[in-house]
Amino acid sequence: MLLAVDSLETTALTKAQLAEMLYEQIGLNKRESKDMVDAFYDLIGARLVAGDDVKLSGFGNFQMRVKAPRPGRNPRTGELIPIAARRVVTFHASQKLKEMLQPDDAGSEAPAGPTSGAEKD
């Protein structure tokens, strides 16, 4: 089932807009739509907090990872400041999503450049 997103007025897709689309296109009542969207977000957040990966077939993977402590520098004063270890979430798009993002007239070959989805620290 395809959901039409032509009516979106902003460049960001909000939880409220998702709930509205469920209401309009699937026929859930507004309260059920909001509860379903909230439950989806809560479940993804809870799994990431627990350290689990979240895989959305055809969309991509969310992964929680721990960044090690490292030395930093105050750009204004040049003073060395330690940066504590922290947990971050990374997202890696699925091949299907990557293909959807490419123009239809693009060739079948992958663009040149790095193929790793590694992020810069």
Neighbouring-strand partners of residue 72 = 81
- pLDDT at 9 (0 to 100): 59
Together in a domain, 39 and 62: no
Structure tokens at 86: 């922290």
Gap between the Cα atoms of 104 and 100, Å rounded: 9
Question: Is residue 64 classed exposed, middle or buried when 0-12, 13-18 and 19+ CB atoms within 10 A define those classes?
Answer: middle
Residue 119 lies in a domain: no
Asked if residue 55 lies in contact with residue 64, where contact means CB atoms within 8 angstroms, the answer is no
Together in a domain, 57 and 100: yes
Gap between the Cα atoms of 56 and 12, Å rounded: 19
- pLDDT at 11 (0 to 100): 79
DSSP letter, residue 29: -
Angle (CA) 83 90 121, round 5°: 35
- pLDDT at 95 (0 to 100): 95
**Host domain of residue 67:** 53-105
- pLDDT at 120 (0 to 100): 45
Together in a domain, 37 and 72: no
Together in a domain, 37 and 79: no
Asked if residue 96 lies in contact with residue 109, where contact means CB atoms within 8 angstroms, the answer is no
Per-residue pLDDT of the chain (121 residues; tens, 9 = 90+): 455 555 555 578 999 999 999 999 988 899 999 999 999 999 999 999 999 999 999 999 999 999 999 999 999 999 999 999 999 999 999 999 999 999 876 555 555 544 544 444 4
Domains held by the chain: number = 2
Gap between the Cα atoms of 73 and 71, Å rounded: 7
